[in-house]
Structure 1
Protein backbone atom coordinates (compact mmCIF):
# COMPACT_ATOMS: atom_id res chain seq x y z
CA UNK A 1 0.00 0.00 0.00
CA UNK A 2 1.02 3.59 -0.45
CA UNK A 3 2.44 5.55 2.45
CA UNK A 4 0.18 8.40 3.68
CA UNK A 5 0.15 11.34 1.29
CA UNK A 6 0.33 15.02 2.20
CA UNK A 7 -3.00 16.83 2.08
CA UNK A 8 -1.89 18.81 -0.97
CA UNK A 9 -1.49 15.57 -2.91
CA UNK A 10 -4.61 13.87 -1.62
CA UNK A 11 -6.65 16.94 -2.57
CA UNK A 12 -5.55 16.44 -6.19
CA UNK A 13 -7.30 13.05 -6.39
CA UNK A 14 -10.35 14.34 -8.19
CA UNK A 15 -8.23 15.96 -10.89
CA UNK A 16 -6.19 12.78 -11.29
CA UNK A 17 -9.22 10.54 -11.70
CA UNK A 18 -10.61 12.91 -14.31
CA UNK A 19 -7.37 12.74 -16.26
CA UNK A 20 -7.17 8.95 -16.07
CA UNK A 21 -10.82 8.61 -17.09
CA UNK A 22 -10.23 10.81 -20.11
CA UNK A 23 -12.35 13.72 -18.94
CA UNK A 24 -9.38 16.06 -18.66
CA UNK A 25 -6.44 16.38 -21.02
CA UNK A 26 -3.00 15.47 -19.68
CA UNK A 27 -0.52 18.29 -20.29
CA UNK A 28 2.03 17.59 -22.99
CA UNK A 29 4.61 20.28 -22.52
CA UNK A 30 4.30 21.56 -18.96
CA UNK A 31 4.85 19.81 -15.67
CA UNK A 32 1.49 18.97 -14.08
CA UNK A 33 0.42 19.19 -10.50
CA UNK A 34 0.40 16.05 -8.36
CA UNK A 35 -1.88 13.20 -9.35
CA UNK A 36 -3.83 10.77 -7.24
CA UNK A 37 -2.24 8.21 -4.99
CA UNK A 38 -5.22 5.91 -5.55
CA UNK A 39 -5.47 2.99 -7.99
CA UNK A 40 -5.03 3.84 -11.65
CA UNK A 41 -7.48 2.75 -14.34
CA UNK A 42 -5.46 2.64 -17.54
CA UNK A 43 -7.07 3.26 -20.89
CA UNK A 44 -7.64 0.20 -23.07
CA UNK A 45 -5.15 1.88 -25.41
CA UNK A 46 -2.38 0.85 -23.01
CA UNK A 47 -1.91 -2.93 -23.50
CA UNK A 48 -1.73 -5.12 -20.41
CA UNK A 49 0.04 -8.08 -22.00
CA UNK A 50 3.28 -8.24 -23.96
CA UNK A 51 1.55 -10.47 -26.50
CA UNK A 52 -0.91 -7.65 -27.25
CA UNK A 53 1.72 -5.06 -28.19
CA UNK A 54 1.50 -3.37 -31.57
CA UNK A 55 4.58 -2.03 -33.31
CA UNK A 56 6.29 0.31 -33.10
CA UNK A 57 5.50 0.63 -29.42
CA UNK A 58 6.32 3.83 -27.55
CA UNK A 59 8.18 3.39 -24.27
CA UNK A 60 7.90 6.39 -21.96
CA UNK A 61 11.48 6.68 -20.67
CA UNK A 62 11.54 7.17 -16.89
CA UNK A 63 7.84 7.98 -17.11
CA UNK A 64 8.38 10.89 -19.50
CA UNK A 65 11.36 12.57 -17.88
CA UNK A 66 11.21 15.69 -20.07
CA UNK A 67 7.59 16.36 -19.11
CA UNK A 68 6.98 14.94 -15.62
CA UNK A 69 9.19 14.54 -12.55
CA UNK A 70 11.53 11.68 -13.41
CA UNK A 71 10.31 8.23 -12.28
CA UNK A 72 7.23 9.69 -10.57
CA UNK A 73 3.76 8.21 -10.28
CA UNK A 74 2.53 11.30 -12.13
CA UNK A 75 4.63 10.38 -15.16
CA UNK A 76 3.83 6.68 -15.02
CA UNK A 77 0.04 7.12 -14.82
CA UNK A 78 0.00 9.87 -17.46
CA UNK A 79 1.99 7.61 -19.79
CA UNK A 80 -0.42 4.73 -19.27
CA UNK A 81 -3.46 6.93 -19.76
CA UNK A 82 -2.19 7.91 -23.20
CA UNK A 83 -1.23 4.41 -24.27
CA UNK A 84 2.55 4.47 -23.67
CA UNK A 85 4.53 1.82 -21.82
CA UNK A 86 6.00 3.28 -18.60
CA UNK A 87 9.71 2.60 -18.14
CA UNK A 88 11.46 2.76 -14.76
CA UNK A 89 14.80 1.94 -13.13
CA UNK A 90 15.32 -0.18 -10.02
CA UNK A 91 17.94 0.68 -7.40
CA UNK A 92 18.19 -0.50 -3.78
CA UNK A 93 18.13 1.32 -0.44
CA UNK A 94 20.28 0.59 2.59
CA UNK A 95 17.80 -2.02 3.86
CA UNK A 96 17.42 -3.65 0.42
CA UNK A 97 14.11 -2.01 -0.50
CA UNK A 98 13.83 -1.68 -4.32
CA UNK A 99 13.09 1.90 -5.34
CA UNK A 100 12.61 3.66 -8.66
CA UNK A 101 15.38 6.06 -9.67
CA UNK A 102 17.84 6.08 -12.54
CA UNK A 103 21.03 7.36 -10.93
CA UNK A 104 22.90 5.56 -8.18
CA UNK A 105 22.99 8.86 -6.27
CA UNK A 106 20.15 11.15 -5.25
CA UNK A 107 21.71 14.48 -6.15
CA UNK A 108 20.53 15.08 -9.73
CA UNK A 109 16.84 14.27 -9.41
CA UNK A 110 15.88 14.44 -5.71
CA UNK A 111 15.47 17.19 -3.14
CA UNK A 112 15.78 16.58 0.58
CA UNK A 113 18.45 13.87 0.41
CA UNK A 114 21.86 13.44 -1.18
CA UNK A 115 24.52 10.82 -1.75
CA UNK A 116 24.36 7.17 -2.82
CA UNK A 117 20.92 5.56 -2.99
CA UNK A 118 22.31 2.48 -1.22
CA UNK A 119 23.14 4.66 1.80
CA UNK A 120 19.58 5.98 2.22
CA UNK A 121 17.10 4.62 4.73
CA UNK A 122 13.48 4.05 3.74
CA UNK A 123 12.51 6.97 5.97
CA UNK A 124 14.93 9.25 4.12
CA UNK A 125 13.66 8.01 0.76
CA UNK A 126 10.04 8.65 1.74
CA UNK A 127 10.88 12.17 2.89
CA UNK A 128 12.51 13.15 -0.41
CA UNK A 129 10.81 14.72 -3.42
CA UNK A 130 11.52 14.46 -7.14
CA UNK A 131 12.47 17.63 -8.98
CA UNK A 132 10.34 18.81 -11.90
CA UNK A 133 12.05 19.10 -15.30
CA UNK A 134 10.09 22.29 -16.00
CA UNK A 135 10.26 23.97 -12.61
CA UNK A 136 6.74 22.90 -11.69
CA UNK A 137 5.43 20.91 -8.75
CA UNK A 138 7.72 18.30 -7.26
CA UNK A 139 6.55 14.72 -6.82
CA UNK A 140 6.88 12.01 -4.21
CA UNK A 141 9.46 9.27 -4.54
CA UNK A 142 8.21 5.82 -5.55
CA UNK A 143 9.18 2.35 -4.35
CA UNK A 144 8.87 -0.67 -6.62
CA UNK A 145 6.05 -1.99 -4.42
CA UNK A 146 4.10 1.24 -4.81
CA UNK A 147 4.44 1.21 -8.60
CA UNK A 148 3.33 -2.43 -8.77
CA UNK A 149 0.39 -1.75 -6.42
CA UNK A 150 -0.69 1.03 -8.78
CA UNK A 151 -0.04 -0.46 -12.20
CA UNK A 152 1.08 -4.08 -11.91
CA UNK A 153 -0.85 -6.30 -14.31
CA UNK A 154 -2.82 -3.33 -15.65
CA UNK A 155 -0.34 -2.31 -18.32
CA UNK A 156 2.90 -3.56 -19.83
CA UNK A 157 5.67 -2.06 -17.69
CA UNK A 158 9.33 -1.88 -18.68
CA UNK A 159 11.50 -2.01 -15.52
CA UNK A 160 15.29 -2.01 -15.69
CA UNK A 161 17.38 -3.73 -13.04
CA UNK A 162 20.31 -1.33 -12.92
CA UNK A 163 23.96 -2.37 -13.26
CA UNK A 164 25.49 -3.17 -9.89
CA UNK A 165 22.58 -5.30 -8.70
CA UNK A 166 23.80 -8.58 -7.27
CA UNK A 167 22.44 -11.91 -8.51
CA UNK A 168 20.51 -12.14 -5.24
CA UNK A 169 18.96 -8.72 -5.88
CA UNK A 170 18.01 -9.73 -9.42
CA UNK A 171 16.27 -12.80 -7.97
CA UNK A 172 14.65 -10.65 -5.27
CA UNK A 173 13.03 -8.43 -7.89
CA UNK A 174 11.95 -11.37 -10.05
CA UNK A 175 10.54 -13.12 -6.98
CA UNK A 176 8.40 -10.06 -6.33
CA UNK A 177 7.19 -10.14 -9.92
CA UNK A 178 6.41 -13.85 -9.50
CA UNK A 179 4.36 -13.20 -6.35
CA UNK A 180 2.23 -10.79 -8.36
CA UNK A 181 1.95 -13.12 -11.39
CA UNK A 182 3.34 -10.49 -13.78
CA UNK A 183 5.20 -12.67 -16.27
CA UNK A 184 2.80 -11.77 -19.10
CA UNK A 185 2.88 -8.01 -18.52
CA UNK A 186 6.53 -7.07 -18.11
CA UNK A 187 9.51 -6.45 -20.36
CA UNK A 188 12.44 -6.58 -17.95
CA UNK A 189 15.69 -4.90 -19.00
CA UNK A 190 19.34 -5.08 -18.09
CA UNK A 191 22.72 -3.97 -19.45
CA UNK A 192 24.17 -7.02 -17.70
CA UNK A 193 24.08 -10.06 -20.00
CA UNK A 194 24.02 -12.53 -17.11
CA UNK A 195 21.06 -10.68 -15.57
CA UNK A 196 19.30 -10.59 -18.96
CA UNK A 197 19.81 -14.35 -19.23
CA UNK A 198 18.37 -14.88 -15.74
CA UNK A 199 15.36 -12.71 -16.59
CA UNK A 200 14.61 -14.88 -19.63
CA UNK A 201 15.26 -18.12 -17.75
CA UNK A 202 12.75 -17.05 -15.10
CA UNK A 203 10.06 -16.74 -17.78
CA UNK A 204 10.03 -12.98 -18.37
CA UNK A 205 10.37 -11.12 -21.65
CA UNK A 206 14.01 -10.01 -21.49
CA UNK A 207 15.42 -6.89 -23.11
CA UNK A 208 19.22 -6.76 -23.35
CA UNK A 209 20.45 -3.17 -23.32
CA UNK A 210 23.59 -2.23 -25.24
CA UNK A 211 25.47 0.89 -26.22
CA UNK A 212 26.47 2.48 -29.51
CA UNK A 213 28.36 -0.62 -30.66
CA UNK A 214 27.21 -4.20 -31.09
CA UNK A 215 27.68 -6.38 -28.00
CA UNK A 216 30.56 -8.81 -27.59
CA UNK A 217 28.11 -11.73 -27.49
CA UNK A 218 27.12 -13.27 -30.81
CA UNK A 219 23.54 -12.97 -31.97
CA UNK A 220 23.15 -16.73 -31.55
CA UNK A 221 24.39 -16.52 -27.96
CA UNK A 222 21.88 -13.80 -27.17
CA UNK A 223 19.04 -15.67 -28.86
CA UNK A 224 19.95 -19.00 -27.26
CA UNK A 225 19.70 -17.29 -23.87
CA UNK A 226 16.01 -16.69 -24.57
CA UNK A 227 16.39 -12.92 -24.97
CA UNK A 228 13.80 -11.55 -27.40
CA UNK A 229 14.32 -7.77 -27.24
CA UNK A 230 17.43 -5.63 -27.59
CA UNK A 231 17.76 -1.98 -26.63
CA UNK A 232 20.68 -0.35 -28.46
CA UNK A 233 21.66 3.29 -28.20
CA UNK A 234 20.05 5.52 -30.81
CA UNK A 235 23.64 6.18 -31.93
CA UNK A 236 24.18 2.61 -33.08
CA UNK A 237 24.61 2.81 -36.88
CA UNK A 238 21.48 1.98 -38.85
CA UNK A 239 23.27 -0.91 -40.59
CA UNK A 240 23.85 -2.51 -37.17
CA UNK A 241 20.28 -1.87 -36.06
CA UNK A 242 19.21 -3.70 -39.20
CA UNK A 243 21.52 -6.62 -38.38
CA UNK A 244 19.78 -6.99 -35.01
CA UNK A 245 16.40 -6.88 -36.72
CA UNK A 246 17.39 -9.47 -39.31
CA UNK A 247 18.64 -11.72 -36.49
CA UNK A 248 15.04 -11.86 -35.26
CA UNK A 249 15.15 -9.53 -32.27
CA UNK A 250 12.62 -6.86 -31.39
CA UNK A 251 14.73 -3.70 -31.64
CA UNK A 252 13.94 -0.68 -29.45
CA UNK A 253 16.54 2.14 -29.52
CA UNK A 254 17.04 4.57 -26.63
CA UNK A 255 16.65 7.47 -25.90
CA UNK A 256 14.87 9.72 -28.36
CA UNK A 257 14.01 13.29 -27.43
CA UNK A 258 10.36 13.08 -28.54
CA UNK A 259 7.98 10.74 -30.35
CA UNK A 260 8.47 12.91 -33.42
CA UNK A 261 11.97 11.44 -33.62
CA UNK A 262 10.49 7.96 -33.24
CA UNK A 263 8.34 8.47 -36.29
CA UNK A 264 11.50 9.02 -38.35
CA UNK A 265 12.87 5.57 -37.52
CA UNK A 266 12.86 2.77 -40.12
CA UNK A 267 9.61 0.86 -40.35
CA UNK A 268 11.17 -2.39 -39.10
CA UNK A 269 11.93 -0.89 -35.66
CA UNK A 270 9.57 -2.44 -33.09
CA UNK A 271 9.77 0.24 -30.42
CA UNK A 272 11.67 3.18 -29.03
CA UNK A 273 12.35 4.89 -25.72
CA UNK A 274 11.58 8.61 -25.52
CA UNK A 275 11.68 11.25 -22.79
CA UNK A 276 8.61 12.93 -24.30
CA UNK A 277 6.06 10.51 -25.74
CA UNK A 278 3.47 13.27 -26.17
CA UNK A 279 5.18 15.47 -28.77
CA UNK A 280 4.43 13.98 -32.16
Structure 2
Protein backbone atom coordinates (compact mmCIF):
# COMPACT_ATOMS: atom_id res chain seq x y z
CA UNK A 1 0.00 0.00 0.00
CA UNK A 2 1.40 3.37 -1.04
CA UNK A 3 2.00 6.02 1.60
CA UNK A 4 2.08 9.65 0.49
CA UNK A 5 3.64 12.26 2.75
CA UNK A 6 1.09 15.08 2.73
CA UNK A 7 2.87 18.39 2.08
CA UNK A 8 6.01 16.44 2.96
CA UNK A 9 5.19 15.61 6.56
CA UNK A 10 2.85 18.40 7.60
CA UNK A 11 2.21 16.93 11.02
CA UNK A 12 5.88 17.14 11.96
CA UNK A 13 7.50 20.01 10.04
CA UNK A 14 6.52 23.28 8.33
CA UNK A 15 4.40 22.17 5.39
CA UNK A 16 5.62 22.22 1.80
CA UNK A 17 9.21 22.99 2.85
CA UNK A 18 12.33 21.03 1.99
CA UNK A 19 12.60 20.17 5.67
CA UNK A 20 9.12 18.60 5.62
CA UNK A 21 9.88 16.75 2.41
CA UNK A 22 13.09 15.28 3.81
CA UNK A 23 11.18 14.12 6.89
CA UNK A 24 8.45 12.59 4.74
CA UNK A 25 10.91 10.85 2.45
CA UNK A 26 12.20 8.75 5.34
CA UNK A 27 9.06 6.62 5.27
CA UNK A 28 6.75 7.64 2.42
CA UNK A 29 6.72 6.14 -1.07
CA UNK A 30 5.89 9.53 -2.50
CA UNK A 31 5.84 13.03 -1.03
CA UNK A 32 3.30 15.66 -2.03
CA UNK A 33 3.54 19.38 -2.65
CA UNK A 34 1.03 22.02 -3.72
CA UNK A 35 2.15 24.29 -6.54
CA UNK A 36 1.25 27.88 -7.40
CA UNK A 37 2.96 30.53 -9.53
CA UNK A 38 4.73 33.63 -8.30
CA UNK A 39 4.25 37.08 -9.81
CA UNK A 40 7.06 36.30 -12.25
CA UNK A 41 5.70 32.88 -13.20
CA UNK A 42 7.90 30.57 -11.11
CA UNK A 43 6.20 27.47 -9.66
CA UNK A 44 6.61 27.36 -5.88
CA UNK A 45 5.44 24.91 -3.22
CA UNK A 46 2.63 26.55 -1.26
CA UNK A 47 -0.94 25.51 -0.54
CA UNK A 48 -2.84 28.73 0.08
CA UNK A 49 -3.46 31.56 -2.37
CA UNK A 50 -1.86 33.89 0.20
CA UNK A 51 1.34 33.59 2.22
CA UNK A 52 -0.28 34.67 5.51
CA UNK A 53 -0.90 31.28 7.17
CA UNK A 54 2.40 29.55 6.41
CA UNK A 55 4.96 32.38 6.40
CA UNK A 56 5.78 35.61 8.19
CA UNK A 57 4.57 37.57 5.17
CA UNK A 58 1.17 38.82 4.08
CA UNK A 59 -0.71 39.04 0.81
CA UNK A 60 -1.30 36.92 -2.28
CA UNK A 61 1.29 34.54 -3.68
CA UNK A 62 0.85 36.27 -7.03
CA UNK A 63 1.99 39.52 -5.44
CA UNK A 64 5.49 38.18 -4.76
CA UNK A 65 8.41 37.67 -7.13
CA UNK A 66 10.67 34.68 -6.60
CA UNK A 67 13.27 37.04 -5.09
CA UNK A 68 10.67 38.23 -2.59
CA UNK A 69 9.94 34.64 -1.61
CA UNK A 70 13.52 34.01 -0.54
CA UNK A 71 13.03 36.57 2.24
CA UNK A 72 9.98 34.89 3.76
CA UNK A 73 10.28 32.56 6.76
CA UNK A 74 8.08 29.48 6.29
CA UNK A 75 8.88 28.12 9.77
CA UNK A 76 12.02 26.72 11.45
CA UNK A 77 14.06 29.04 9.27
CA UNK A 78 12.81 27.36 6.09
CA UNK A 79 11.91 29.22 2.92
CA UNK A 80 9.25 28.35 0.38
CA UNK A 81 11.00 26.13 -2.17
CA UNK A 82 10.59 26.32 -5.90
CA UNK A 83 9.26 23.28 -7.72
CA UNK A 84 12.73 22.91 -9.22
CA UNK A 85 14.27 22.67 -5.74
CA UNK A 86 11.68 20.05 -4.80
CA UNK A 87 12.49 18.01 -7.91
CA UNK A 88 16.22 18.20 -7.18
CA UNK A 89 15.58 16.93 -3.65
CA UNK A 90 13.51 13.88 -4.60
CA UNK A 91 15.45 13.04 -7.76
CA UNK A 92 16.23 9.33 -7.85
CA UNK A 93 15.06 8.88 -4.26
CA UNK A 94 11.27 8.99 -4.02
CA UNK A 95 8.15 9.56 -6.02
CA UNK A 96 6.48 12.96 -6.09
CA UNK A 97 2.87 14.10 -6.08
CA UNK A 98 2.38 17.58 -7.53
CA UNK A 99 -0.99 19.16 -6.85
CA UNK A 100 -1.79 21.84 -9.41
CA UNK A 101 -3.69 24.48 -7.47
CA UNK A 102 -4.44 26.92 -10.31
CA UNK A 103 -6.04 26.17 -13.66
CA UNK A 104 -4.02 27.52 -16.55
CA UNK A 105 -0.63 26.87 -14.94
CA UNK A 106 -0.24 23.31 -16.22
CA UNK A 107 2.15 24.07 -19.08
CA UNK A 108 4.57 25.98 -16.87
CA UNK A 109 4.49 23.31 -14.16
CA UNK A 110 5.06 20.51 -16.66
CA UNK A 111 7.90 22.39 -18.39
CA UNK A 112 9.79 22.50 -15.09
CA UNK A 113 9.17 18.81 -14.37
CA UNK A 114 10.13 17.45 -17.79
CA UNK A 115 13.90 17.71 -17.36
CA UNK A 116 13.86 16.27 -13.85
CA UNK A 117 11.28 13.51 -13.88
CA UNK A 118 11.13 11.86 -10.45
CA UNK A 119 11.10 8.12 -9.85
CA UNK A 120 7.30 8.16 -9.93
CA UNK A 121 5.10 11.16 -10.63
CA UNK A 122 1.46 11.86 -9.86
CA UNK A 123 0.05 15.08 -11.34
CA UNK A 124 -3.17 15.78 -9.46
CA UNK A 125 -5.75 18.50 -9.07
CA UNK A 126 -9.23 19.34 -7.86
CA UNK A 127 -9.80 20.88 -11.31
CA UNK A 128 -10.80 18.24 -13.91
CA UNK A 129 -9.58 20.48 -16.72
CA UNK A 130 -6.13 20.67 -15.10
CA UNK A 131 -5.98 16.88 -14.81
CA UNK A 132 -6.83 16.51 -18.50
CA UNK A 133 -4.30 19.13 -19.56
CA UNK A 134 -1.52 17.73 -17.36
CA UNK A 135 -2.03 14.26 -18.81
CA UNK A 136 -2.02 15.64 -22.34
CA UNK A 137 1.21 17.55 -21.73
CA UNK A 138 3.02 14.80 -19.82
CA UNK A 139 1.64 11.37 -20.76
CA UNK A 140 4.35 9.63 -18.75
CA UNK A 141 2.92 10.89 -15.46
CA UNK A 142 0.00 9.33 -13.65
CA UNK A 143 -2.83 11.84 -13.46
CA UNK A 144 -5.21 12.05 -10.53
CA UNK A 145 -8.50 13.72 -9.70
CA UNK A 146 -8.87 14.99 -6.12
CA UNK A 147 -12.28 15.67 -4.63
CA UNK A 148 -13.89 16.42 -1.30
CA UNK A 149 -17.50 17.20 -2.23
CA UNK A 150 -20.15 14.85 -3.49
CA UNK A 151 -19.73 13.81 -7.12
CA UNK A 152 -22.42 11.71 -8.77
CA UNK A 153 -19.94 9.61 -10.75
CA UNK A 154 -16.33 10.25 -9.70
CA UNK A 155 -15.11 7.18 -11.57
CA UNK A 156 -16.72 8.32 -14.81
CA UNK A 157 -15.42 11.87 -14.36
CA UNK A 158 -11.89 10.62 -13.71
CA UNK A 159 -11.94 8.42 -16.79
CA UNK A 160 -13.28 11.28 -18.92
CA UNK A 161 -10.20 13.39 -18.11
CA UNK A 162 -7.75 10.48 -18.63
CA UNK A 163 -6.96 10.13 -14.93
CA UNK A 164 -5.51 6.91 -13.56
CA UNK A 165 -6.11 7.79 -9.91
CA UNK A 166 -8.93 9.16 -7.80
CA UNK A 167 -8.04 10.87 -4.54
CA UNK A 168 -11.23 11.28 -2.50
CA UNK A 169 -11.47 12.78 0.94
CA UNK A 170 -11.58 9.84 3.35
CA UNK A 171 -15.28 10.24 4.16
CA UNK A 172 -16.07 9.84 0.45
CA UNK A 173 -14.52 6.38 0.19
CA UNK A 174 -16.47 3.11 0.30
CA UNK A 175 -15.92 -0.47 -0.71
CA UNK A 176 -18.36 0.04 -3.56
CA UNK A 177 -16.36 3.01 -4.87
CA UNK A 178 -13.10 1.07 -4.64
CA UNK A 179 -14.57 -1.88 -6.52
CA UNK A 180 -16.00 0.36 -9.27
CA UNK A 181 -12.71 2.19 -9.62
CA UNK A 182 -10.67 -1.00 -9.74
CA UNK A 183 -12.99 -2.47 -12.35
CA UNK A 184 -12.07 0.41 -14.66
CA UNK A 185 -8.36 0.33 -13.84
CA UNK A 186 -8.28 3.32 -11.48
CA UNK A 187 -6.24 3.49 -8.30
CA UNK A 188 -7.95 4.82 -5.16
CA UNK A 189 -5.80 6.96 -2.85
CA UNK A 190 -7.80 8.77 -0.13
CA UNK A 191 -6.74 11.62 2.15
CA UNK A 192 -6.02 12.31 4.97
CA UNK A 193 -5.52 9.15 7.04
CA UNK A 194 -3.87 10.03 10.34
CA UNK A 195 -5.32 7.53 12.82
CA UNK A 196 -5.15 3.77 13.26
CA UNK A 197 -8.92 3.58 12.77
CA UNK A 198 -8.77 5.41 9.45
CA UNK A 199 -5.96 3.17 8.21
CA UNK A 200 -7.75 0.02 9.35
CA UNK A 201 -10.85 1.06 7.40
CA UNK A 202 -8.74 1.81 4.32
CA UNK A 203 -7.18 -1.65 4.49
CA UNK A 204 -10.61 -3.23 4.92
CA UNK A 205 -12.11 -1.65 1.83
CA UNK A 206 -9.03 -2.25 -0.32
CA UNK A 207 -7.64 1.16 -1.24
CA UNK A 208 -4.30 1.35 -3.04
CA UNK A 209 -2.67 3.91 -0.78
CA UNK A 210 -3.32 7.04 1.23
CA UNK A 211 -1.94 10.43 2.16
CA UNK A 212 -0.89 11.12 5.75
CA UNK A 213 0.51 14.07 7.70
CA UNK A 214 2.87 11.67 9.51
CA UNK A 215 4.04 9.05 7.01
CA UNK A 216 6.46 7.38 9.43
CA UNK A 217 3.69 6.77 11.97
CA UNK A 218 1.57 5.38 9.15
CA UNK A 219 4.41 3.13 8.01
CA UNK A 220 4.99 1.79 11.50
CA UNK A 221 1.31 1.01 11.86
CA UNK A 222 1.16 -0.83 8.54
CA UNK A 223 4.22 -2.84 9.47
CA UNK A 224 2.77 -3.77 12.85
CA UNK A 225 -0.50 -4.85 11.21
CA UNK A 226 1.39 -6.92 8.64
CA UNK A 227 3.32 -8.64 11.41
CA UNK A 228 0.15 -9.64 13.23
CA UNK A 229 -1.92 -10.31 10.09
CA UNK A 230 0.36 -11.82 7.41
CA UNK A 231 -2.42 -11.69 4.81
CA UNK A 232 -2.36 -7.89 4.95
CA UNK A 233 1.30 -7.79 4.01
CA UNK A 234 0.45 -8.99 0.52
Equivalent residues in 2 for 1:126-165, closer than 5 Å? 126-131=70-75, 137-162=76-101, 164-165=102-103
Which one is further off, 65-74 or 222-231?
A: 222-231
Equivalent residues in 2 for 1:262-277, closer than 5 Å? 262-265=199-202, 266-277=204-215
Shift of 1:224: 4.8
Shift of 1:74: 1.2
Shift of 1:214: 2.5
Pair 1:58-2:3 in alignment: yes
Q: Which residue of 1 aligns with 2:150?
A: 213
Asked if structure 2 preserves the Cα contact closer than 8 Å seen for 1:258 and 1:275, the reply is: no
Deviations 1:200-256 (A, max 9, x none): 223121011112422566x34532542110101111152553333444310011112
Shift of 1:143: 0.9
Asked if structure 1 preserves the Cα contact closer than 8 Å seen for 2:103 and 2:129, the reply is: no
Q: Relative to total residues, which structure has the larger helix share, 1 or 2?
A: 2
Structure-2 change in CA distance of 1:128 and 1:240 (3 Å): farther
Q: Which residue of 2 aligns with 1:109?
A: 54
Asked if structure 1 preserves the Cα contact closer than 8 Å seen for 2:175 and 2:206, the reply is: no
Give the Cα separation in 1 of the matches to 2:134 and 2:12: 30
Pair 1:251-2:211 in alignment: no
Shift of 1:117: 0.5
Asked if structure 2 preserves the Cα contact closer than 8 Å seen for 1:254 and 1:274, the reply is: yes
Give TM-score scaled by structure 2 length.
0.82
SS in 1 for 2:107: helix
Shift of 1:192: 1.0
Asked if structure 1 preserves the Cα contact closer than 8 Å seen for 2:144 and 2:167, the reply is: yes
Shift of 1:154: 3.0
Equivalent residues in 2 for 1:23-102, closer than 5 Å? 56-102=1-47
Structure-2 change in CA distance of 1:110 and 1:156 (3 Å): same
Asked if structure 2 preserves the Cα contact closer than 8 Å seen for 1:259 and 1:276, the reply is: no
Shift of 1:103: 0.6
Name stretches of at least 5 consecutive residues in structure 2 with no aligned partner.
Answer: 222-234
Asked if structure 2 preserves the Cα contact closer than 8 Å seen for 1:245 and 1:269, the reply is: no
Give the Cα separation in 2 of the matches to 1:222 and 1:83: 25
Pair 1:191-2:136 in alignment: no
Give TM-score scaled by structure 1 length.
0.70
Asked if structure 1 preserves the Cα contact closer than 8 Å seen for 2:70 and 2:80, the reply is: yes
Give the Cα separation in 2 of the matches to 1:81 and 1:117: 29
